[in-house]
Amino acid sequence: MRFIRRDLPYTILVVFGTLALLSYYVAIPAIEAVAGTSRTWVVVIGAFAVFLGALNVIRTHAVRAYQKKENWWLSVWLVFIYFSMVIAGLLAGTGSAQYKWMYAAMYTPLAQGVVGTLGLFLVSAAYRAFKIRTSESLVFFLGFFLIAVRQASIGPLLWPGFEIIGNWVTLWPSTGTMRAVTIGLAIGTVALALRTLARYEKIGLEEGGIVGGG
Partner 1 sequence: MNLTASKNIWDKLGDLDRRILFWAVVLIIAVSLIHPLRLPITVSERVKEAYNFVEKAVKPNDIVLIDLGTGLGPMPETMPGLLAITRHLMRLQARIVFTTGYVSPEAVVVIEEVMDKTLRKDPKFVYGEHYVNFGWYTGGGTAIRRLASNWKDVFTRDWYGTPNEKLPIMKDITGADSFRLVWHVGPETAWVTYWKLGKRVPVLVTYMALNIPTWLPYYAAGDIYLLGGQRENAEYEILVGVPGPGVPAMDYQSLGHLFVLGVVVLGNLGNIRRKLRREQQ
Partner 2 sequence: MFVQGRTVEFLLILIFLALQVVFIQRAIKKKEVGYIRHIVGLDAIEEIIGRATEMGKPIHLSPGVYAGFGPGYAGPTVAALSIFSYVSSLAASKKVPILASVNDASSYAAIDEAVRLACESACSPESYRPENIQYYAYGEALLTGVFGTMTRMKPAGNFLIGPFGWDAVVQGELGAYANAMQLGGTDAFSNLSMLAATCDFLLIGEEIFAAGAYVSKDPKGAGALRGQDVSKLTAVVILVLGALLWLAGSKLVFNMLGV
Give the residues lining the site for partner 1 (CB under 8 A): 39, 43, 46, 95, 100, 103-104, 107-108, 111-112, 114-116, 118-120, 122-124, 126-127, 130-133, 141, 144-145, 148-149, 151-157, 163, 170-171, 174-175, 178-179, 182
CA distance 40 to 78: 32
Nearest Cα to Cα of residue 166 among 178, 179, 153 = 153
Query: In DSSP terms, which residues pair with 211 in a beta bridge?
Result: 201
For residues 174 and 78, what is the distance between their CA atoms, to the nearest angstrom?
44
Query: Minimum CB separation from partner 2 for residue 170, in Å?
Result: 12
- Side-chain-side CA neighbours of residue 186 (13 Å): 6
Q: Are 196 and 17 in contact (CB under 8 A)?
A: yes
Q: How far is the CB of 21 from partner 2 (least distance, A)?
A: 7
As measured in angstroms, the least distance from the Cβ of 81 to partner 1 is 16
Minimum Å gap between C-beta 101 and partner 2 is 18
Q: How far is the C-alpha of 62 from the C-alpha of 81, rounded, in Å?
A: 13
Q: Which is nearer to partner 2, 96 or 175 (CB)?
A: 175
- Pick the closest to residue 169 from 145, 146, 197 (CA basis): 146
**Residue 12 interacts with partner 2 (CB under 8 A): yes or no:** no
Q: How far apart (Å, rounded) are the C-alpha atoms in residues 140 and 152?
A: 18
Size of the residue set binding partner 2 (CB under 8 A): 67
Helix (H) or strand (E) holding 47, with range, is helix 29-66
Binding partner 2 (rule: CB under 8 A), the pick from 40, 124, 135, 153 is 124
Residue 170 binding: pick among partner 2, partner 1, none (C-beta 5-8 Å cut-off by kind): partner 1
Q: Does 24 bind partner 2 (CB under 8 A)?
A: yes
Q: Which of 31, 63, 10 is nearest to 212 (CA)?
A: 10
| Shortest reach from residue 88's CB to partner 2, in Å | 16
Read off the DSSP letter of residue 6. Answer: I
Q: Which amino acid is at 51?
A: F
**Contact partner at residue 21 from partner 1, partner 2, none, CB < 5 to 8 Å by partner kind:** partner 2
Q: Which residues, in sequence order, are bridge partners of residue 201? A: 211
Of 8, 12, 28, 105, which lies in the binding site for partner 2, with binding defined by CB under 8 A?
28
**Which residues in this chain contact partner 2 in the complex, by CB under 8 A?**
21, 24-28, 42, 45-46, 49-54, 56-57, 59-60, 63, 70, 110-111, 114-115, 117-118, 121-122, 124-126, 128-130, 177-178, 181-185, 187-196, 198, 200-213
